Chain A
């Protein structure tokens, strides 16, 4: 699914968070939105997902303004797993509630899904509180992929993970995007992760899209703000 975001504005209690963001998300590619903390990345992601609504501007999904958000799924920054449900119930949450399949059938599908993410079946009946940070992220990714989305939204996928687990999650994301041929939109400030998983890059600062580029050109940019951001300088 190709997504065109045109001139998006969003205010919260008088504070201008997005001030005319324009960007294009190509079909079946991984688009990364870089930016400092608090620059409006998460708000933009939720607006594209239609979890919140913009004050001004248009978003077109395959040239249409209306879209069935059931074609989307999201990996939340801290997983957002349901504490009161077991791992398998988290992964198959939507299917269980929509009575899509028999429970045994769903359990088999969940096991397949878990195996593809490197999760062993002994985690099946565990609660999220019994899992490590990396495992929680993988379960959350499993939940996001279980509904076979056309577009996956990744909100800081490597936040809070050690380098090994970050790498693992990055590899899973790359593998998933390629194998399942889905469009991915990632917001992050983890440059390493962005380079590993992205095809196209946008840099957002002060609620405005500063630049878009491919991975090869990212470090050759003449944009001062992006250069400082990439080097971690003020």
Chain B
């Protein structure tokens, strides 16, 4: 990372450290949109961080933009930042205009057929979009990028916030996960043939969540080590007990593995969405999340089980994110399918190419 890149990440970290207070997170959980925080994030240009320079972006290294996503998760930033970065990337690739506010995207699950898949057809005054999009992150607050089948092949469209019929929902961390029903007409200039990047939405979502999980795990490790150093029982900090030290060493190992896996996902996301490293990353970070959250709560004892302590802002996100865009088993099976196709003697070449 160059000095400039480092400054981008550090500036974002400073903003999050100053502005993302427990009060702000709690208010967001209760349903209030943190407009001031969004404006501060937008002032830094972060929503456009993955837009290539030739499409009007800042020409930031995509890996730096994704390091910002990881940093945001390290502070449990209650905004659709990851979603906005990727949605704007897709809009830029399709040559569509980008809003100044938040944008999310809908990734149909690939493991089960959708009951009411999105369809888009030409109409007299533009394009008519119909269908159902379950569990869209911040689906009520943000513009939504969707990909829908049409007679001309898959099309990408941006639906302005407030146009869909919303059934509000959330995940374990009370992040909005809204069901959207579409039956509306979009102007012709908000629809375009889907670029190749937009055909792997579940992979993109999985890669983003893997990166976010790595960031949240870093904070879980920090909180746990700090608590073990401060909490005194039997006359000494509990971190002096070998049993606690051994568990924290496992937590560090899981965090390190998740970090390495997330780097694989970031590189794939920055390039051409190679599904294998993304599958590996999502499964590995999900597994790390399960192990790490259990240890972190054990180390924190009763105080970590309270809403008052901040640990849960990270562990509840990890418990939610590990199951979004395909759980560990889903992605492990994808990796396994690649191994089956490669065969026993192709296993090692597959590993060295991943």
The answer to whether A binds B is: no
Q: CB within 8 Å of B: which residues of A? A: none
